[in-house]
Chains A and B, each alone.
Chain A
């Protein structure tokens, strides 16, 4: 079956660094997305990885290891506005998204 696993909740301190992990099992693989979702709002695109390695975009970076079925989202210099849920989604062979349940990130001052 297809499955995406990520932690339910994480807590971090303002100004610190946090890494949110995601493991995936999909029928075929055409990449992996990370989305950010603030409470009560729609998800917004953060990153897309299809090749192994690290993609950096400002304070956010995303890493992919296809051989391990593993990805992480790295958030640096955390700000209070980064408090949100972070959704990992794998793309299967039919280009359908398989969604994780999301990781709720709580930032404390």
Chain B
């Protein structure tokens, strides 16, 4: 069966510090991968999605970046965090072959920037 795991679950970072969130998927090949952010009481905002290794699409301009060094690994990074980067970050995957649109989410990473 397919599983998705992201880490760390919680982190508190000072403004201006770097960020790295990692996500891995097991049990499937060539998944579509996504990074979402959810601010408190708000909906899901798509940040990045990837349909293959090295292929990253950015949905919103920001100081974040994403990379996909391996088929089932997706990394969200920042060189210098802003206060506005605080939120709940969710990694997700969908079946790249069947392409039904259904998403399967990781556990989430709660980032607080102070």
Contacts and interface: CB of A to CB of B under 8 A. Distances in A.
Interface string B71-114: 00000000000000000101000000001111111111010000
Contacts of A91: 101
Given A42-B90, A87-B43, A87-B44, A95 B103 contact: no
Contact of B44 (A31, A41, A99): A99
A33 interface: yes
Which of A31, A45, A96, A101 has the most C-beta atoms of chain B within 10 angstroms of its own C-beta? A96
Given A48-B102, A91-B101, A42 B44 contact: no
Q: Which 9 A-B pairs have the closest CB atoms?
A: A101-B43, A42-B105, A91-B101, A99-B44, A95-B101, A42-B108, A99-B43, A95-B99, A43-B105
Interface residues of A, number: 20
Nearest to B90: A42
Interface residues of B, number: 19
Nearest to B45: A99
A67 to B, nearest CB: 21
Which of B103, B104, B108 has the most C-beta atoms of chain A within 10 angstroms of its own C-beta? B103
Given A33-B101, A43-B105, A97-B103, 10 more contacts: A31-B100, A33-B102, A40-B108, A42-B106, A43-B90, A45-B103, A48-B100, A95-B100, A96-B46, A97-B101
